């Protein structure tokens, strides 16, 4: 085959006679006059036509989007919008972290006399710490962890849970909340603790393993002061109770109350889930604070 083509290409202006016959010679031989120049024109024209058709398809149809590295104006605009959304999300996360830091400082009582956080003021000179014992205790999560060692509040100072006295009502009248009656009911049913309270490591709560979709109930009457998404705790709700008690419920799937809502004892405030970054599975992260000091919830909840 290649020798035949080379003979044709040797002189494009010549005219050749090609004889075609069967190998068994059952059919008469056939002769054809072949001009290589015309064959070259035919092949060249066919390739040019195919190239023009492909170029037209790529230029005027959506097939051009399949070319590697090709991007339409709409795609470039979408990329710019995504970059702007990412930048806005970073700003929102930064503001949310600052808000949560201020709220944590407020809850733990680390607020200066003029309302500014201690983190904003220069840190005092560190004092030399005594030599570490061989107990291999973990490093404290914060320098104030010892303030929350149990019992952070004497059991004798706990309220009886009866109705408020007239002197405590003041000018608030009937809007005064009744105190918590300890021990309180667990915030979730059919749950069991998986991680306990540990002020040294900064875990000021008890983790309760519970299936998704379980109703999370307030341990007592109060007002919702936090109902929002947090980066670490996911959907978080906090309820302010009487006598300086504050209960916090984290990693929820959905929130049922808004800031300012009044809730009754054992009223549902959220639906349990597995939201937030710091979580290892469906559970409720339950915190209990009293006048800015974290309390071990197991000492105040019945059945734990």
Query: Using one digit for the tens of pLDDT, what is the confidence trace for 210-267?
Result: 999 999 999 999 999 999 999 889 999 999 999 999 999 999 999 999 999 999 999 9
Give the pTM. 0.51
- Secondary structure (DSSP) of 221-267: SEEEEEEEEETTTEEEEEEE-GGGEEEEEEEEEEE---TT-EE-TT-
C-alpha span between 99 and 300 (Å, rounded): 29
Bridge partners (DSSP) listed for residue 235:
229, 252
Let me know the angle formed at the C-alpha of 77 by 72 and 81, rounded to the nearest 5 degrees: 150
Looking at residue 261, its pLDDT comes to: 92
Which part of the chain has CATH 2.70.70.10? 154-169+176-299
pLDDT in tens, 4-22: 777 777 777 778 787 777 7
- Topology of domain 154-169+176-299 in CATH is Glucose Permease (Domain IIA) (2.70.70)
| 273-280 mean pLDDT | 90
- Judged against a pLDDT cut of 90, whether residue 138 lies above it is answered with no
> 294, 246 in Cβ contact below 8 A?
no
DSSP annotation of 119: G
């Amino acid at each position: 085959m290649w020798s035949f083509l080379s003979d044709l290409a040797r002189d494009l202006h010549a005219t050749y006679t090609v004889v075609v016959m069967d190998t068994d010679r059952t059919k008469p031989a056939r002769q054809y006059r072949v001009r290589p120049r015309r064959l070259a024109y035919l092949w060249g024209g066919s390739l040019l036509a195919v190239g023009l058709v492909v170029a037209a398809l790529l230029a005027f149809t959506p097939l051009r989007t399949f070319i590697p590295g090709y991007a339409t104006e709409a795609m470039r605009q979408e990329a710019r919008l995504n970059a702007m959304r990412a930048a806005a999300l970073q700003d929102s996360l930064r503001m949310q972290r600052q808000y949560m830091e201020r709220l944590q400082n407020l809850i733990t009582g680390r607020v200066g006399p003029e309302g500014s956080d201690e983190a904003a003021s220069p840190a005092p000179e560190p004092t030399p710490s005594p030599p570490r014992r061989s107990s291999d205790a973990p490093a404290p999560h914060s320098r104030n962890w010892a303030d929350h060692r149990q019992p952070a509040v004497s059991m004798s100072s706990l309220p009886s849970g009866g109705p408020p006295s007239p002197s405590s009502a003041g000018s608030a009248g009937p809007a005064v909340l009744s105190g918590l009656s300890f021990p309180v009911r667990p915030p979730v049913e059919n749950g069991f603790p998986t991680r306990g309270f540990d002020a040294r490591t900064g875990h000021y709560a008890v983790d309760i393993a519970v299936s998704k979709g379980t109703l999370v109930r307030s341990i007592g009457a109060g007002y919702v002061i936090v109902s929002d998404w947090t980066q670490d705790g996911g959907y978080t709700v906090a309820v302010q109770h009487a006598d300086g008690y504050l209960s916090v419920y984290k990693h929820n799937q959905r929130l049922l109350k808004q800031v300012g809502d009044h809730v009754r004892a054992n009223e549902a405030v959220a639906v349990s889930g597995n939201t937030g970054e710091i979580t290892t599975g469906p559970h409720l992260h339950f915190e209990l604070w009293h006048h800015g000091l974290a309390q071990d919830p197991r000492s105040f909840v019945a059945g734990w």
